[in-house]
Amino acid sequence: MSESQRPRGLGAAARVTALAGSVMDLHVRIALQEVDREKRRLISGGVFLAMGGTLMLLALLALEVTLVLWMKDALGWSFINSLIILAVIDLLLAGISLRIGGQLAKGPYLPETLEGLSRTTKAVLGRP
């Protein structure tokens, strides 16, 4: 069939289909760009959270060293006594934090979540 003999509706449908395909391609390209941008944002956020956590740990260690030196000088305790008292305080705070965290982590989970946790635990422990 020549161009003039073809039904006019098929040409319009082909153009609409081509336009829809073009719009979908554009949409997919934009979505991929957004994923890349979000991925970079999440990675950057993770890096800054890790830096903040590391710096917080170093500050905590400096504070504990300062506290031990203060206990030795102001209270007249030995280094061993100061370290033992500080370790007991740290264990108490860690126990309280773990208890609160455990209570907050309890709750109803979706079956998919429990299944995922089970698979992850089995993979980490090396069980079939």
Top pLDDT among 39 and 11 is at 39
Identify which of 92, 91, 67, 63 has the alpha carbon closest to the alpha carbon of residue 77: 67
pLDDT in tens, 26-51: 777 887 777 777 787 878 888 999 99
pLDDT in tens, 86-121: 999 999 999 999 999 888 877 666 777 777 777 777
Predicted pLDDT at 31: 76
Q: pTM surpassing 0.85?
A: no
Identify which of 90, 22, 101, 95 has the alpha carbon closest to the alpha carbon of residue 60: 90
Identify which of 38, 57, 60, 39 has the alpha carbon closest to the alpha carbon of residue 49: 57
Predicted pLDDT at 81: 92
pLDDT in tens, 51-60: 999 999 999 9
Identify which of 61, 108, 109 has the alpha carbon closest to the alpha carbon of residue 86: 61
Predicted pLDDT at 57: 92
Predicted pLDDT at 72: 92
Confidence category of residue 69, pLDDT binned at 50, 70, 90: very high
Given a contact cutoff of 8 angstroms between Cβ atoms, the answer to whether 69 and 79 are in contact is no
Q: What is the DSSP letter of 110?
A: -
